[in-house]
Structure formats: C-alpha cells, structure tokens
Amino acid sequence: MAAEDTVEILTEKLKIYQKLMESFAPSIPVPLNILTPQGSSTPSTQGSSTPASIPFPTAVAKIIYKLTKRYIKVEEILALTDLKKNEYNNLLSEVRFVMASLHTDFNIPYKSQNINLISKIIKKFTKRNPNAPFGEGNWVVKELIKKHLQHRRDYVKRKNNIQHKKGKEKEREREKEKEKERENEKEKEKENRNEIERENENIKCK
C-alpha cells in the first residue's frame, strides 16, 4: 500500500474519532464576557438586579458607656464624648428646641416627666442630629434633657429670687415713705402746739 493511501485512511479515521468525541461531550455555554478585560467599557446586561455597593464607614464608632454614678458633670460628658464646649452647647440648644416643639413642661423635673414624651424627644433629637454622640442606651441625650430641665429650674429660681428681692426693696421704700409721713405729721403737730402756746402768751400779755 502506498504511503499516500495510508495517510488518507488515517485522516478519515481521525475525523470519525473527532465526531464521536464531539457527540459524547456535553454542550457547555461559554460566557460572552469571559475574555472581556477588566478595563473594558462593555455595557452591562440590561435588567440586572445587582444592588449598588453600600458605603461603609471608614472607622467604627466607639461605644460611649455611661459612668456608674447619679450625677454626671458637663466636663465628664465632654471628656467621654470628645465634644467641644461649643458643640455641647449646640446640642443643648437642639434639645431645648425639640422639647419646646413637643410642648414639654419645663417646670416638671426629669424623674416626673412622662416616659413616652422622653422617648419622643430622644427619637426626634437623634433623627435631627444623626452624627451626634448618643451613648449606650442614649444616655448622652438623656443627660442633655436633664441638664436643660435643671438650667430651666435654676433660671426660674433666680428670676423668682430677683423678683423677691425687688419686692423686698419696694416694701422697704414704702416703709421709709410711711416713716417720713409720720415724722412730717409729728412736725406739724409740734408746730401747731407751739403756735397755740404763742397765742396764749400774747393773750396773757394783753
């Protein structure tokens, strides 16, 4: 057999084997973008339900724990929250605004305030100031509420004391005026007596 005939026979057999292999191999769909480079500007498939990436904060916010004591000073709050005094005053003004908008009775102390009202104040405050330090269990906001109520009571007390002092001063002034009137009356009586005595002496001389 010639060499050319042998090559043809082998080629035919190879083709047959290839067809047999292709018939047994499973059909695997090749993704269209498998060779797409990362920097390609190929448009994404329409109707994709992939959500946008969520921006996470660069730093995890620290938990601000409350001190285990009844009264917390302003300086201690500033140290725990890393707030500056002007920032603290701004938050205090925010609390005052929220409390006024919810018709809070400032004459009632914190312990006697309605619990639901306190919850509403905290909710509205945190919504208006999402970046403010709230503290564990919102204790910072509660302290701001306490501080404002205390400031309000102190203001009313000072005002009442001033009014009381003014009232006392007015009473003293009225007493002085009455004393002057009594002295004037005494002087008039004395002058009248002297005049009567002079008249009597004149009568005797005649």
In tens digits, what is the pLDDT along the chain, a chain of 206 residues? 556 667 677 777 777 767 766 665 555 444 444 334 444 444 444 443 444 433 323 334 578 888 888 889 999 999 999 999 999 999 999 999 999 999 999 989 999 999 999 999 999 999 999 989 988 899 999 999 999 999 888 888 888 877 767 777 777 778 777 888 888 888 888 888 887 777 777 776 76
In a domain, 8, yes or no: no
In-domain check, residue 153: yes
98 within domain boundaries: yes
Is the Cα dihedral 108, 114, 115, 116 positive or negative? negative
Residue 52 lies in a domain: no
Domain that holds residue 88: 74-159
Q: Is residue 123 part of a domain?
A: yes
Number of domains in the chain: 1
Distance in angstroms (rounded) separating the CA atoms of residues 79 and 180: 61
Sign of CA dihedral 114, 119, 124, 125: positive
Nearest Cα to Cα of residue 149 among 81, 204, 191, 99: 99
Instruction: Give domain status of residue 64, yes or no.
Output: no
pTM of the model: 0.50
User: Do the domain assignments include residue 82?
Assistant: yes
Residue 189's alpha-carbon distances to 45, 146, 183, 195, 201, in angstroms, are 115, 64, 10, 10, 19
Q: Could you tell me the two tokens for 171?
A: 């009473």
Q: Is residue 132 part of a domain?
A: yes
